[in-house]
A = this chain, B = another copy of it.
């Protein structure tokens, strides 16, 4: 049994009382389940989305596209972020990969718009962070 699990057993002994070994075993089992369900490696898709959003340039782009409510061209987006054209392209590429924006080519311009996922997340974030924090 690992170091961590020994400490855990001490805590559970402390918490539940020494006489109820069955309860201790049951809670250890429950944690095993938690580990299986939530431990390293799970929830990767959400993590990709979070990583894409957790950057000033990319988050600004998503917020602008959500607020605009329509597709904007790269040249318009270039006006609201402070990176080179290349940096902007890299940023948009990351957002596409995360399913947060979609691109469409229109002649020699390229248009981007926010996906439903982006709309949902930005809305909730602005609400949850500004309101209850």
Asked whether A94 is an interface residue with its Cβ less than 8 Å from the other chain, the reply is no
Cα(A39)–Cα(B64), bound, Å: 9
Complex-state Cα separation, A132 to B78, whole angstroms: 28
Give A1-33 as 1s and 0s: 1 = Cβ < 8 Å from B's Cβ atoms: 000110110110010000000000000000100
Chain B nearest Cβ from A130, distance in angstroms:
7
Known A-B contacts A39-B82, A78-B7, A79-B5; A34 and B64 likewise in contact (beta carbons under 8 Å): yes
With A43-B60, A59-B50, A64-B38 already in contact, the answer to whether A133 and B121 are too (CB < 8 A) is no
Contacts A73-B11, A109-B11: A47 and B54 contacting too (C-beta < 8 A)? Answer: yes
Q: Per-position contact with B for A118-133: 1 when CB-CB < 8 Å, else 0?
A: 0011001110111011
